[in-house]
Amino acid sequence: MKKPNLPLVYMVCLLLVGVLLAAVPADNGYQVGDTARDFKLKNVDGKMVSMADYKDAKGFIVTFTCNTCPYSVAYEDRIIDLHKKYAPKGYPVIAINPNDATASPKDSYADMQQRAKKKNFPFAYLHDETQEITKAYGATRTPHLYIVQKQKDGKYKVAYIGTIDDNSRDASKVEKKYAEAALDQMVAGKTISQPNTKAIGCTIKWREA
Amino acid sequence: MQQHTYIFAAHVTYRMITRKLNLLLAALAFILISAPAFAQQVKVIKYKELEQIRNAPHDTLYVVNFWATWCKPCIKEMPYFEALTAQYKNQPVRVMLVSMDAAEDLEKRVKPFVQKRSLKSDVLLLDEVDANTWIDKLEPKWSGAIPATMVFNNKRKQYEFVEKELSQEELQSIILKYKP
């Protein structure tokens, strides 16, 4: 084999890294305490949905999740339960699928509609087709929760960023319900003791530039 | 005298046979013991052991990739890590593939996956349920999405972390940058 021209290979590599770095969205999303922007995204029922549409809500459990990630699937029933428990208290779930349908075909709008129907989602399941909202929030994995609280001035303050609980695998073995603890504290008007949590999840499938 | 010789000969034959038998037994035992060493193993570890790897003081470039059998982009980039193992054989570059699969899936999913692909890199399974208890200790920048990869040589105080799927060019350029 011919010996490769190393400086050239190196330069090509650097160039490639540069191009790829430019294509990857910056990792500066919201932190707890920031104001979250509203959105207008297409729900599985064909209607456009914004947080502003929910006149009586005190806040939202904005959940970036999808059809394809095994962790998201494992959490589906628990996301439904979260909605059932906290929507009556003023905090409904709004699920947003952040994945690009070309990169992840089973996350297409039609597949989302199917999944929502099959699981009988009691909450909105929106398609972030341009991935603009996902980038603005700074979601990186599925599932990824942003619990926001509506302020007196109508703004949405990020109160919690993280995971649902400590056991993605087995709901019956959960010991720490991180999201519920945060929501209970919010509902009770207390400070959230653990506003940031992490979990292993699937990467978001970004649209190729 | 003749009888004595006969007994002696018998004794020698007997000793030869037992020696052969011993050798055979030893060979058999060796095969039995070492067989698993030929077949790729998956070592189940706790966070403490992962921390020890992260703090390894050697002048070795560790390439630790976090993956799972259910993670498509992880599987897509895996051949690039396997290529490193082959490429830097007998050099101080060590590729470790740390699976995030559940420990319950070790026999059913992880081991068959490793066998089927005849992975040559070290394969580990991190048996921790609540990632919230350890991710920040390992790397605060990590959101928890996989694939993710950390490259380090503690002796040379080198460290790099990436939370995304790598192309072969990207991975190669990272290794070229740090390779001892």
Q: State whether B75 and B112 are in the same domain.
A: yes
pLDDT at A50: 98
How remote is the C-alpha of B47 from its chain's centroid? Answer: 16
**pLDDT(A36) > 70:** yes
Q: State whether B14 and B68 are in the same domain.
A: no
For residue B19, name the pLDDT band (cuts at 50, 70, 90): low
Mean pLDDT computed over A176-203: 97
Report CB contact under 8 Å: A202, B146. yes
Q: State whether B66 and B142 are in the same domain.
A: yes
**pLDDT(B36) > 50:** no
How many Å lie between the alpha carbon of B144 and the closest alpha carbon of chain A? 4
Q: Is the Cβ of B125 closer than 8 Å to some Cβ of chain A?
A: no
Of residues B36 and B3, more confidence is placed in B3
Q: Is the Cβ of A198 closer than 8 Å to some Cβ of chain B?
A: yes
Q: Among 3.40.50.620, 3.40.30.10, 1.20.210.10, 3.30.420.10, what is the CATH number of A28-203? A: 3.40.30.10
Of A177, A141, A147, the residue nearest A161 (C-alpha): A147
Q: What is the CATH number of the domain that holds B161?
A: 3.40.30.10
Full residue range of the structural domain in which residue B88 is found: 42-178
Strands (E), chain B: 42-45, 61-67, 93-99, 122-126, 145-146, 148-153, 158-162
Mean pLDDT computed over A177-195: 97
Number of domains in chain B: 2
Q: State whether B86 and B19 are in the same domain.
A: no
Mean pLDDT computed over B120-138: 96
pLDDT at A208: 87
pLDDT at B14: 58
Q: State whether B47 and B120 are in the same domain.
A: yes
What is the reported pTM? 0.81
pLDDT at A24: 44
**pLDDT(A174) > 80:** yes
Mean pLDDT computed over A105-132: 98
pLDDT at A209: 74
Helix (H, G, I), strand (E, B) or coil at B112: helix
pLDDT at B1: 47
How many Å lie between the alpha carbon of B70 and the closest alpha carbon of chain A? 7
Q: With pLDDT > 70 as the criterion, what percentage of chain B qualifies?
A: 78
Q: Is the Cβ of B103 closer than 8 Å to some Cβ of chain A?
A: no
pLDDT tens per residue across span B61-72: 999 999 999 999
Report CB contact under 8 Å: B173, A169. no
Q: State whether B88 and B160 are in the same domain.
A: yes
**What's the whole-number average pLDDT of chain A?**
91
Of residues A26 and A182, more confidence is placed in A182
For residue B180, name the pLDDT band (cuts at 50, 70, 90): confident
ipTM confidence: 0.80
Report the length, in residues, of chain A: 209
Q: State whether B73 and B142 are in the same domain.
A: yes
Q: Which amino acid is at A33?
A: G
How many Å lie between the alpha carbon of B158 and the closest alpha carbon of chain A? 19
For residue A37, name the pLDDT band (cuts at 50, 70, 90): very high
Which residues contact residue B72 at a Cβ distance below 8 angstroms, ignoring those fewer than 6 apart? Answer: none
pLDDT tens per residue across span B78-95: 999 999 999 999 999 999
Looking at the partner chain, which of B70, B143, B145 has a beta carbon nearest the beta carbon of A70? Answer: B70
Are B96 and B121 contacting, i.e. CB atoms less than 8 angstroms apart? yes
Q: State whether B13 and B82 are in the same domain.
A: no
Half-sphere exposure of A72 (CA within 13 A, CB side): 27
pLDDT tens per residue across span A136-157: 999 999 999 999 999 999 999 9
Q: Is the Cβ of A22 closer than 8 Å to some Cβ of chain B?
A: no
